[in-house]
Each structure stands twice: as structure tokens, then as C-alpha cells.
Structure 1
Amino acid sequence: MLFYHSLQRKTIIFAKQDFKNSPVLKSWDIANEIIAAGPNETGDAIYGLLPGLTPEYILELFKFAASVDSTKLFYLNDSSMEGASWRADRWLALIEYLKNNGAKIDGAGIESHLWFSTGYAFDARGFSSVLQRLNNLGVKPVITELDIIIDFPLPSTIQKLDQMVADSYTRYLDLCFAADVDTVITWGITDKYSWIRDPNYMPAKFKANPSAQQFLRPLPYDQNLQPKLVRNAIAQAFQRAT
């Protein structure tokens, strides 16, 4: 199976047939994180692809994968697609190009490392539009790396923060399920191992303020593996959806 991944402008490409007849493996992420962060990081005004990539190349990846094993579900996965934006428009244009040119593309993965704050609102209407466009193309939206971080200005207590996180999950998941999303994967289970706490990824404003780091609580279980309000919020959102 062919797989492409972009990581800090480096690429890894490999062909594997080991899992062709696997009864366990159900899907492949054929191309991952290939859309530039903004127009200054790409020469591709239409699809926003990272330098060195072309839509024809991505199309060939999908077609090659289908020639190896067309029984699996094929996905295109990327981040920061949760609203009306330059990136979302280019990503959707690429998906439409793939569909119109015979690619087997079954779904689109949306990573959803979300930031919420009392200082700015979530673009619910824009995100609903993204989900609707995917559904109109016959490409199933799935959520692949969900977590929710509360940005400055921070609430006064951990209890208030946990309520904000839970409420944010509720609004986000209700919107997703209304658009027929049926797969949601959180990017981890416990705050203890959240990527946002890693010094290599922690935003400078949290690094510079050690007391604020206790407010990095984006996942269903706390650092002691105890369930938080968000755990119940997720369960209740699934119950409402079914």
C-alpha cells in the first residue's frame, strides 16, 4: 500500500502489500498533512499543496493504492479544516479534483486540534459548510485527532476550565453528528500524555507562564486517569446521535 506523509517538509513514501488481505485493517490514510499553512508557503494557488507536490502526484497515490487493494477505505487527512479558511478551501478543491479524476477516496480525516476561548468564537457555520461540502462530494468526514485547548484569557479555576472544555466538546460533536460524522478519535486519552504538554510543542505563552500549564487539560481523563466532565459530555453526545 502506498502512503505519503509530510512532516516538517520531509516526506516518507513506502509501498506495502503485507496488509492486503488483513481482516483487521479497514482503512488507509493515503496522504496526510499535505496542505500548506498559508499562501506564503506554497506556489500552488489552487490546491495549496506543499512544495514538491502536485495534484497529479496525489491522484497517482490514490490510484496506485487502489490497484494494490481496493477493499480498504481510503482517506485524505489534514489539520485546521474546522471553518471557512484559505486552507479548507484548497483542501476541498483537492478532494473535488481527486473525485472528478477517478480516485477512490472514501473519506476525509479532520484532525481537530481545537482552540477555544472567551475571546473568540468557533466558526460553527463555516465548519458546517465544510462538512456539507464533503458529504455532497460523497466523501465521509471523520474526526481523527480531536482535543480541545482553552486559550487565554484563562478561567479563574480548573473547575471552570473543565466545564468550558466539556461544553466545547458538546457543541462541536453535536455539529459533527448532525452532519453524519460517525467516527471520532481523540488525540490521546489522558492529559498526562497530551501533545500540548510536550515542551517541543507547548505554545510559548504557556511555556512562559508555568502556572498556566495546569490549564492544559484537553482530553477526557486527567493526569491521574480520572474521568473529567468532558468524558461524560462525549458519551452523552454519542447517545444523542444514536
Structure 2
Amino acid sequence: MRPIRFAITALAAAALTVPAAVPAASADTAERHWPPHHSHGKAERLRWAAPHGFHIGTAVAGGGHHLEQDYPDPFTSDRRYRRTLARQFDSVSPENQMKWEYIHPERDEYDFEMADRIVRFAGRHGQVVRGHTLLWHSQNPAWLEEGDFSDAELRSILRDHITTVVGRYRGRIQQWDVANEIFDSEGNLRTEENIWLRELGPGVIADAFRWAHRADPHAELYLNDYGVESVNAKSDAYYELSRELLADGVPLHGFSAQAHLSLDYPFPGGLEENLRRFDELGLGTAITEIDVRMTLPESGEPTAEQLDTQADYYRQALSACLDVEGCDSFTIWGFTDKYSWVPVFFEGQGAATVMTEDFTRKKSFFAVYDTLKDEKRWWPGRPGHGRGGH
């Protein structure tokens, strides 16, 4: 049973801040937004605050919609972005650079340049990598979606893709989102949208896990989706699928909730309960793509109340994960509003991450930091979960 955690007073929180790794007078310190209870001379870093065995991660901006924006590729062009990425996080997820349209642009052509750079970056900075994603209905290349393939050809294409991509990074990627967003909100398989399910049937899900496992027997393999933060029709469908796959000996190792949240809706109060039932199946669990968007005022700047509520959503989500023993990673889907996907896809909404466009740390950043630090104090060691732990 986990020791009871108590609220840390403002004085205690200040006393527990992590020692600085750079001089207090550095430019990085000067640019921070410090709440009153945080010492100006300390360099709070999320990865230092996290308990042993718990990974705090972020998506790495690049590829996808970023190619259509009026700025160069963030990961390769923005030195401050990379520096913050390395300092704050010990887990990275390619936001788009491992998706089919980006990594497999033509049938007989792979483009590994950006994915390779991210994996090398992670290796240099002591970070694990979450691979994203192998089987999905979206962001597929035109040659695949518009091609005239027999079922046997399609099956071969998927098998070769999984074998090639997972095999290339064998031993260097901790977890893979193997099957991504395969159910709709009613808990039905996406048999119309998803080319693999439509043409090859639901049995291809198990095949994808088996192919990925053969390509890298040490990687943990996950089901991943949004809208599954609570116990509902969609998460029920994943629960039943997980039971079936496990009963059939399929190498399924985890279930993860994306947690793209919005202040327009209440916080999903059933998050811990839902993660716990997958944990009780023997699966690892994770929060893989969290952000908390909001409808912005006419000024374009969030109000103090919005920022307070956003911080509380981040805190609640992280606490729910920490309170489930097998939930061992929490990934923010981009850490700065400068490169967030939210304004591109949700008109009038934004400010969804833990830093502003100029990398100023929001209340949500410190909510995550303090929650991690509190957990580390009262629970100094988290047992590794899954196949051999981390």
C-alpha cells in the first residue's frame, strides 16, 4: 500500500527545490515566471522532480502540420527549444516524424532522417523514446490510401512497414503505440476509416502486435487513444479487446490514454479508476498526449482564472496516473504554445501547454513540478512495471 501523501506547505516546497545546475544569474533563470513559493535561484526541472522509474515526457515538434506553418522545423531550427527539451524531459515522442505519411512517403521509400535525429538526441540526453504510431486510420500517404492493392499485398505492406520501422530502432525505443485510435466514440471498430481494419479485418490488430514484438522483443507495445480517460463505451471496448488479446497470447503490454483535455468540459473524474482496471489486467498504463486547451478571450490571452483551472487539470491528471502503480509515464503533447497543434485544429482555442510562446513557465508547469516532487518525497521508489521494468 502506498504511503499517504500530505500537502507540502509553501515553505517546505521552497526548501525542497532542486539544486541549480547552472549559475543563478543565467539567462534561463531570468526568463522564468516564478510563483511566490519558488526560489529564484533554483532551476526547477521536471525530469529531476520525477520519482525513480517514472518518466515525464513531451512530444517533439516537427513534421505534420508544422510543415504548413510559417516557421522552420522546430526541432532542427530552434536551439532554445532543443535545450529546454533536453533539460526538462526524460522521455520524448515524435509528434509526427514516425507517422506513415512522414516516414514512408512512397511504397518503396522510407525517410528516416528526422526520426533518426530524434532517437540520437534522446540517446545523448538520457531520454527514453515512445514510438508513434504503427497502425492508424489517419496521416497515411496517398499511395497507400489511393492504391489498388489485394488483401495479400496490403498485409505484406503493413508487415514490412512494422518490421522495418520497429527493427531499425530495436533496443532504442522503450514503447510503441502499435494500434492508435481504432475505436470510435461508441466503442465500434473504425472499419470504414481505417484501411487495415476495413480491408484485412480486426484480426490484423493482433498481427501488428506480433510483428512488432518479433522486430523488437524488448519494446513495450501499447494500445493508444483519446476519449478513453473515463470508463465509457470506448474505454470498455479497449478493455474487452485487451482481455481478448491477452487470452490469445498476443504481446500486448500496455494501454494509454491521450488526455487531450479542454476547459470547456469538466475534468474526467474517472481517469484513475479507468487506468486501474487496465493495471489489474497486468498491463502498463500511461498518459501519452496530454494538453489542456481553452477558448481564448478576444485579447488572445488566457485569463488568470483559466490558467488556474488549467493547472488544476494538469495536477489532477498527473495525480491520477501516479496513484496507479503501473502508470509510469506522463507525456505532454508539446511543452510550448509556440508550436502547439491546438490552434491549428481548434479555431479560437489555444494556450494548451505548460509554457507560453516565449517559454515562460505557466502555473500548469509548476503544478506538474510540485506534484512530481511531492510524489518523489513520499514515494522515493516506484517499482518497474511490465516486462522487466525500466
For the aligned pair, the TM-score class normalised by the smaller chain equals 0.7 to 0.9
Match of 1:33 in 2: 181
Matches for 1:88-237 after TM superposition, within 5 Å: 88-117=235-264, 120-124=265-269, 126-150=270-294, 158-180=303-325, 181-198=327-344, 201-203=345-347, 206=348, 213=349, 216-237=350-371
Cα deviations across residues 92-151 of structure 1 (Å, max 9, x unaligned)?
11111111110111111211101234xx53231x32221111101111111111101235
Q: 1:36, 1:50 within 8 Å by CA — same for their partners in 2?
A: no
Q: Which amino acid aligns with 2:231?
A: A
| Higher alpha-carbon Rg | 2
- Cα deviation for residue 230 of structure 1 reads 0.6
User: What is aligned with 1:210?
Assistant: none
Unaligned runs of 5+ in 2: 1-130, 146-156, 377-390
Q: Can you list the C-alpha shifts for 1:132-177, whole angstroms capped at 9, x where unaligned?
A: 11101111111111101235999x9622211111111112211221
Q: Is the 8 A contact 2:187 2:235 kept in 1?
A: no
User: Which is bigger in relative contact order (C-alpha 8 A, separation at least 6)?
Assistant: 2
Matched pairs, number: 220
The amino acid across from 2:243 in the alignment is E
How far 1:197 sits from its partner (Å)?
Answer: 0.9
- What does residue 19 of structure 1 align with? 169
Residue 5 of structure 1 pairs with residue 136 of structure 2: yes
Q: Structure 2 vs 1, CA of residues 163 and 53 (structure 1 numbering), >3 Å: closer, same or farther?
A: farther
Structure 1 pair 95–41 and aligned structure 2 pair: CA distance change class (3 A): closer
- Distance, in Å, in 1 between the alignment partners of 2:180 and 2:187 is 19
Amino acid at match of 1:130: N
SS of match in other structure, 1:109: strand
Percent identity reads 26
Query: TM-score scaled to structure 1, two decimals?
Result: 0.79
Secondary structure (helix, strand or coil) at the match of 1:25 reads: coil
Q: For structure 1, which segment, 145-154 or 63-72, has the greater mean C-alpha deviation from structure 2 after superposition? A: 145-154
* SS of equivalent to 1:75: strand
Contact 1:84 1:123 in 2 (8 A): no
Secondary structure in 2 matching 1:183: strand
Q: Is the 8 A contact 2:183 2:189 kept in 1?
A: no
SS at match of 1:104: coil
- Structure-1 separation of matches of 2:199 and 2:310: 38
Q: In 2, Cα distance between the equivalents of 1:139 and 1:39? A: 20
The corresponding residue for 2:210 is 63
State the secondary structure of the residue aligned to 1:6. coil
CA offset digits 1:63-92 (Å, max 9, x no partner): 222223212111111111111221111111
Once the two structures are superposed, residues 159-196 of structure 1 have per-residue CA deviations (whole angstroms, 9 ceiling, x without a partner) of 22111111111122112211122201100011121111
Structure 1 unaligned blocks of 5 or more: 207-212
Distance (Å, rounded) in 2 between the aligned partners of 1:66 and 1:121: 38
The aligned amino acid for 2:169 is: F
| Counterpart residue number, 2:14 | none
**1:56 alignment partner AA:** G
Instruction: Judge which range, 219-228 or 11-20, deviates more.
Output: 11-20
**SS of residue paired to 1:176:** helix
Higher fraction of strand = 1
CA distance in 1, matches of 2:188, 2:176: 30
Q: 1:115 and 1:40 mapped to 2: Cα distance?
A: 24
What is the distance in 1 between the residues matched to 2:168 and 2:191?
Answer: 36
Tell me the amino acid that sits aligned with residue 66 of structure 1: H
